[in-house]
Amino acid sequence: MPGQILVVGSSNTDMVVQTTKLPAPGETVLGGTFFMNPGGKGANQAVAAARLTGNVTFVAKVGTDIFGEQAVAGFRQEGINTTYIQSDPDHPSGVALINVDAAGENCITVAPGANAQLRPAETNPALASAETDALVLVQLEIPLDTVVHIIGEAATRGLRVILNPAPAQPLPDELFPNLFLITPNETEAELLTGIRVDDLSGAGQAAQKLHAMGVSNVIITLGSKGAYLSTGTQSQLIATPPVKAVDTTAAGDCFNGALAVALAEGQPLPDAIAFACKAASISVTRMGAQASMPRRNEVNE
Ligand code: ATP
Ligand code: RIB
């Protein structure tokens, strides 16, 4: 049995419309067919990991509405441990409104709902139950004080923490030394370090700054260019398979879920990144968030 992956984060229902071009402020554009599928960065990463045969426990908060019920039913079908998912009778489940253009690029507005109500102490039972070698995977679509609490508690228990710092926001200094690994994309890396990341030199400088802030390992995802790894002593670019992207929504989530699976299996970081790139490159060839997450046999092929 591979090591446990404890994902703590958001669950949304994604409402998606494909358009030729994304609307400008004040503009209305006619789009294609409306499409609904489960999303949310935490849930996407949990589902990605579970489909790739990870041993996943998901910690989240949903509303007591049809969206929350469907989301939790979906997690159970994926074989995810849902013991620590809470229901909030006072707030609706999270929803995301998504436009995807002809090049597969998107713009997303999230109504967090119950996700914004996940309190620090409410994550303690899951953390207390975590296996001693569990990997903790967290993002920034739940309250920041909860993220800081989880990371501090997990580090105190000696658990390895992966932070996917998305959506981008400034973070407190004390958080960084508790991270085994941080996985920003180019924009997030720039926001955290103040260093522009549009080439390998920028990625290298941003990674060094993150090490100086206290992070052990840094992976900066670079879209179709792959992912840049820095361990502090070594760095390398790992390429992603070239594909025709249809919808890049949740590419980063697929990458992080797959990465966690490979690391939980004991794979070294470069191999784990190659596996994550393969999985994420498949996900961008399909529409949707959880709808696009590949299964293990697809990645192995
Ligand atoms: P998103 O916000 O769209 O979910 P992200 O900005 O967090 O994604 P990216 O760096 O764009 O993250 O992508 C994550 C990973 O997904 C990349 O490292 C790569 O492996 C894969 N990927 C993304 N876009 C493409 C693409 N066009 N072709 C192939 N692989 C891709
Ligand atoms: O990372 C993609 C996700 O961001 C979408 O599924 C949407 O719900 C938002 O959380």
Reported as a single tens digit per residue, the pLDDT across 139-173 is 999 999 999 999 999 999 999 999 999 999 999 99
Measure 252 CA to ligand 1 centroid, in angstroms.
5
Average pLDDT of the chain, as a whole number: 97
247 close to ligand 2 (CB < 6 Angstrom): no
Confirm whether 14 is a catalytic residue.
no
The mean pLDDT of 180-190, rounded to a whole number, is: 98
Q: What are phi and psi of 226, to 5 degrees?
A: 105, -140
Q: Which residue has the least CA distance to atom 8 on ligand 1? A: 252
With pLDDT > 90 as the criterion, what percentage of the chain qualifies? Answer: 97
Q: Which of 16, 247, 253 to mutate to test the pocket of ligand 2 (most atoms within 8 A of CB)?
A: 253
Per-residue DSSP letter, 14: E
pLDDT of 124 > 80? The answer is yes
Domain ranges of the chain: 4-11+40-91+115-300
> Which ligand gives the minimal distance to the CA of 280?
1
Query: Which protein residue has the closest C-alpha to ligand 2 atom 1?
Result: 250
Q: Which of 221, 228, 256 to mutate to test the pocket of ligand 1 (most atoms within 8 A of CB)?
A: 221
Q: Name the band, by pLDDT with cuts 50, 70 and 90, for residue 2.
A: confident
Q: Are 296 and 116 in contact (CB under 8 A)?
A: no
Gap between the Cα atoms of 87 and 69, Å rounded: 9
**Nearest protein Cα to ligand 2, atom 6:** 39
Q: Are 57 and 84 in contact (CB under 8 A)?
A: yes
The mean pLDDT value for 112-129 works out to 98
**Partners of residue 226 on adjacent β-strands:** none
Q: CA Rg, the chain, in Å?
A: 18
Does the pLDDT value for residue 104 go beyond 90? no
Q: Is the pLDDT assigned to residue 1 strictly greater than 80?
A: no
CA of 14 to the centre of ligand 2 (A): 7
**pLDDT cut 70: percent of the chain above it:** 100
Distance 22 CA to ligand 1 centre (A): 19
CA distance 287 to 250: 10
Mean pLDDT of 113-137: 97
User: Is any ligand 2 atom within 6 A of the Cβ of residue 39?
Assistant: yes
Q: What is the pTM of this model?
A: 0.97
Ligand 1 shell residues, CB under 6 Å: 166, 185, 221-224, 226-227, 240, 243, 245, 248-253, 255, 277, 280-281, 284
CATH code for the part of the protein at 4-11+40-91+115-300: 3.40.1190.20
Asked if residue 135 has pLDDT above 90, the reply is yes
Helix residue ranges per DSSP H, the chain: 41-51, 66-77, 124-129, 144-156, 186-193, 200-213, 251-264, 269-283, 296-300
Nearest CA to ligand 2 atom 10: 40
